[in-house]
Structure 1
Amino acid sequence: MVSSPRAAAAVLALAAWAPAVAVAAAISPPDSAKVQNRLWESAAGSYYNDSFLIGNGRIGAALPGTPVSEKIHVNEDSFWSGGQLHRVNPDALNYMPQMQSLVVNGQIKNAATLASFAYAGTPVSARHYDFLGDLELTMNHSSSVTNYERWLDLADSTAGVYYQVSGVSYQREYIASNPAGVIAIHITSDHAGTVNFNVHLRRGSSLNRWEDYSEKLGNDAIVMGGGSGGKEAVAFVAGAKVVASGGKVFTIGDYVKCEGADEAWVYFSAWTSFRKDNPRDAVIKDIEAAAASTYNSIRSAHVGDYQELASRVSLNLGESSDEQKAMTTSGRMLALSKAFDPELASLYFQFGRYLLISSSRHGTLPPNLQGIWSADIDPQWGSKYTININTEMNYWPSLVTNLAELNTPLWDLIDIMRTTGSNTANSMYGAKGVVAHHNTDLWGDTAPQDNYVSSTFWPSGFAWLVTHLFEYYLFTGNQDMLAEKYDTLVDAATFYLDFLTDYKGWKVTNPSISPENTYHIPGSKSTAALTCGPTIDNSLVWALFGMVLDTQAVLGIQDHALAKRISVMRSQLPPLRVSPTTGGIMEWIEDYTETDPGHRHFSLLWGFYPGSQITPSNATTFAAAQKTLYRRLSNGGGDTGWSRAWSVSLAARSFNASSVGDSLTTLLEAYTYPNSLLNTGPPASFQIDGNFGGTAGVAEALVQSHEYVVAGHSTTKRMIAAHLGDKNKIPLIRLLPALPPLWASNGGGSVTGLLARGGFEIDMVWGEEAHLTNATITSKIGGQAWITLGGTPIGGTNRTEISVDGHGHGTFVLLKATKGKKYTVTLA
Structure 2
Amino acid sequence: MNKQITLLSIFSLLYLSCGTSEKVDQSIEVSDDHLRLWYDEPAEQWVEALPVGNGRLGAMVFGDPNKETIQLNENTLYAGRPYRNDKPEAKEALSEARKLIFEGKYDEAQELINQKFFSGVYGMPYQTLGNLRLNFYGEEPTSGYSRELDLEKAIVTTRYEKGGVNYETKVLSSFPDQVIVVQITADKAGALEFSATMDRPGQFDLRTNGNEELILTGISSDHEGIKGGVEFESRVRIVTENGKMSATDDNLAVTGADKATLYISMATNFENYQDISGDETEKASAFLEKATNKGFDAILNDHVADYQQYFKRVSLDLGETDAVDKPTDDRIVEFSQGNDPQLVTLYFQFGRYLLISSSRPGGQPANLQGIWADQLKPAWDSKYTININTEMNYWPSEITNLTEMNEPLVQMVSELAETGRQTARDMYGSNGWVAHHNTDIWRITGPVDGAFWGQWPMGGAWLSQHLFDKYEYAGDIAYLESVYPILKGAAEFYLDFLVEEPDNGWLVVAPSVSPENAPYSDHGASVSAGTTMDNQLVFDVFTKTVRAAEVLGVDAEMRQKINEKLEQLPPMQIGSWGQLQEWMYDWDNPEDKHRHVSHLYGLFPSNQISPYRNPELFEAARTSLVARGDESTGWSMGWKVNLWARLLDGNRALKLITDQLSPAILPDGKHKGGTYPNLFDAHPPFQIDGNFGCSSGIAEMLLQSHDGAIHILPALPDAWQEGKVSGLRARGGFELAIEWKKNQPKKIVIKSALGGNCRIRSHYPLSGDGLSEAEGENANPFYQEPNIKKPLIAGGAELNGLSLKKIYEYDLATSSGEVYEIVQDEK
TM-score by shorter chain over 0.5: yes
- 1:762 alignment partner, SS class: strand
Displacement after TM superposition at 1:442 (Å): 0.6
What letter corresponds to residue 755 of structure 1 in structure 2?
Answer: R
Q: Distance in 2 between matches of 1:673 and 1:66?
A: 22
Map of 2:477 onto structure 1: 479
- Candidates 546, 549, 556, aligned match of 1:549: 546
Q: Distance in 2 between matches of 1:428 and 1:47?
A: 44
List aligned pairs for 1:454-465, cutoff 5 A.
Answer: 454-465=452-463
Q: Distance in 2 between matches of 1:366 and 1:736?
A: 31
- 2:661 alignment partner, SS class: helix
What letter corresponds to residue 676 of structure 1 in structure 2?
Answer: N
Displacement after TM superposition at 1:80 (Å): 0.3
Displacement after TM superposition at 1:35 (Å): 6.0
Say whether 1:766 aligns with 2:768.
no
- Candidates 737, 761, 766, aligned match of 1:788: 761
Q: Distance in 2 between matches of 1:288 and 1:195?
A: 24
Q: Distance in 2 between matches of 1:196 and 1:328?
A: 29
Q: Tell me if structure 2 keeps the 8 A contact 1:103–1:532.
A: yes
Q: What TM-score do you get using the length of structure 1 for normalisation?
A: 0.88
Map of 1:391 onto structure 2: 390
Stretch of structure 1 that moved more, 638-647 or 227-236: 227-236
Map of 1:721 onto structure 2: none
Displacement after TM superposition at 1:439 (Å): 0.2
- Candidates 73, 76, 80, aligned match of 1:75: 73
- Candidates 96, 99, 102, aligned match of 1:101: 99
Deviation readout 1:694-723 (Å, 9 max, x if unpaired)? 000000000000112xxxxxxxxxxxxxxx
Deviation readout 1:702-753 (Å, 9 max, x if unpaired)? 0000112xxxxxxxxxxxxxxxxxxxxxxx1000000011122xxx100000
Displacement after TM superposition at 1:232 (Å): 5.0
Say whether 1:382 aligns with 2:381.
yes
Map of 1:667 onto structure 2: 660
- 1:472 alignment partner, SS class: helix
Say whether 1:599 aligns with 2:585.
no
List aligned pairs for 1:710-725, cutoff 5 A.
Answer: none
Deviation readout 1:398-421 (Å, 9 max, x if unpaired)? 000000010000011111111210
Displacement after TM superposition at 1:596 (Å): 5.5
Q: Distance in 2 between matches of 1:263 and 1:79?
A: 32
Map of 1:677 onto structure 2: 679
Q: Tell me if structure 1 keeps the 8 A contact 2:582–2:588.
A: no
Map of 1:268 onto structure 2: 264
Say whether 1:233 aligns with 2:229.
yes
Map of 1:181 onto structure 2: 178
Q: Tell me if structure 2 keeps the 8 A contact 1:489–1:548.
A: yes
Map of 1:334 onto structure 2: 333
Q: Distance in 2 between matches of 1:595 and 1:215?
A: 61
Map of 1:3 onto structure 2: none
Q: Tell me if structure 1 keeps the 8 A contact 2:314–2:400.
A: yes
Map of 1:307 onto structure 2: 308
Displacement after TM superposition at 1:325 (Å): 2.4
- 2:147 alignment partner, SS class: strand
Displacement after TM superposition at 1:199 (Å): 1.6
Deviation readout 1:506-539 (Å, 9 max, x if unpaired)? 1000000000111133xx3x32211101010100
Structure 2 regions of 5+ residues with no counterpart? 1-31, 272-276, 664-672, 775-807
Q: Tell me if structure 1 keeps the 8 A contact 2:770–2:813.
A: no
Deviation readout 1:313-338 (Å, 9 max, x if unpaired)? 00001122x2x122111111111122
Identity across aligned pairs (percent)?
Answer: 38
Displacement after TM superposition at 1:386 (Å): 0.2
Q: Distance in 1 between matches of 2:573 and 2:221?
A: 50
Map of 1:755 onto structure 2: 729
What letter corresponds to residue 768 of structure 2 in structure 1?
Answer: V
What letter corresponds to residue 646 of structure 1 in structure 2?
Answer: W
What letter corresponds to residue 643 of structure 2 in structure 1?
Answer: L
- Candidates 246, 253, 256, aligned match of 1:257: 253
- Candidates 213, 219, 229, aligned match of 1:221: 213
Displacement after TM superposition at 1:546 (Å): 0.8
Q: Tell me if structure 2 keeps the 8 A contact 1:41–1:149.
A: yes
List aligned pairs for 1:688-727, cutoff 5 A.
Answer: 688-708=688-708
Displacement after TM superposition at 1:630 (Å): 1.4
Q: Distance in 2 between matches of 1:528 and 1:427?
A: 25
**What's the Cα RMSD here?**
1.4
**Matched residue count:** 740
What letter corresponds to residue 385 of structure 1 in structure 2?
Answer: Y
List aligned pairs for 1:148-547, cutoff 5 A.
Answer: 148-204=145-201, 207=202, 210-211=203-204, 213-230=205-222, 231=227, 233-275=229-271, 277-320=278-321, 322=322, 324-451=323-450, 453-503=451-501, 504-521=504-521, 524=522, 526-547=523-544
What letter corresponds to residue 126 of structure 2 in structure 1?
Answer: Y
Q: Distance in 1 between matches of 2:590 and 2:179?
A: 49
Deviation readout 1:415-471 (Å, 9 max, x if unpaired)? 1111210000001100000000000001111010111x3311100001100101000
What letter corresponds to residue 200 of structure 1 in structure 2?
Answer: T
Q: What TM-score do you get using the length of structure 2 for normalisation?
A: 0.88
Q: Distance in 2 between matches of 1:80 and 1:805?
A: 57
Q: Distance in 1 between matches of 2:189 and 2:563?
A: 75
- 2:550 alignment partner, SS class: helix
Q: Distance in 1 between matches of 2:187 and 2:588?
A: 68
Q: Distance in 1 between matches of 2:348 and 2:228?
A: 41
Q: Distance in 2 between matches of 1:71 and 1:669?
A: 27
Deviation readout 1:777-826 (Å, 9 max, x if unpaired)? 11122222211114xxxxxxxxx322232223572111221111111122
Q: Tell me if structure 1 keeps the 8 A contact 2:436–2:460.
A: yes
Q: Distance in 2 between matches of 1:392 and 1:136?
A: 35
Choose between structure 1 and 2 for higher RCO, CA contacts under 8 A separated by at least 6 residues: 2
Q: Distance in 2 between matches of 1:82 and 1:42?
A: 41
Q: Tell me if structure 2 keeps the 8 A contact 1:518–1:596.
A: no
Q: Distance in 1 between matches of 2:468 and 2:82?
A: 29
Q: Tell me if structure 2 keeps the 8 A contact 1:99–1:114.
A: yes
What letter corresponds to residue 64 of structure 2 in structure 1?
Answer: T
Structure 1 regions of 5+ residues with no counterpart? 1-33, 709-731, 791-799
Deviation readout 1:83-105 (Å, 9 max, x if unpaired)? 12221113111111100111111
Q: Tell me if structure 2 keeps the 8 A contact 1:134–1:203.
A: yes
Say whether 1:646 aligns with 2:636.
no
Say whether 1:60 aligns with 2:58.
yes
Q: Distance in 2 between matches of 1:542 and 1:804?
A: 38
Displacement after TM superposition at 1:249 (Å): 2.1
Say whether 1:623 aligns with 2:586.
no
- 1:531 alignment partner, SS class: coil
Q: Distance in 2 between matches of 1:652 and 1:340?
A: 21
Q: Distance in 2 between matches of 1:351 and 1:529?
A: 37
Instruction: State the structure with more CA Rg.
Output: 1
Stretch of structure 1 that moved more, 461-470 or 232-241: 232-241
What letter corresponds to residue 543 of structure 1 in structure 2?
Answer: D
Displacement after TM superposition at 1:495 (Å): 0.3
Q: Distance in 2 between matches of 1:614 and 1:749?
A: 29
- 1:431 alignment partner, SS class: coil
Q: Tell me if structure 2 keeps the 8 A contact 1:788–1:802.
A: no
Q: Tell me if structure 2 keeps the 8 A contact 1:38–1:154.
A: yes
Q: Tell me if structure 2 keeps the 8 A contact 1:804–1:813.
A: no
Q: Tell me if structure 2 keeps the 8 A contact 1:192–1:262.
A: yes
Deviation readout 1:567-600 (Å, 9 max, x if unpaired)? 0111111011111x22011110111134961111
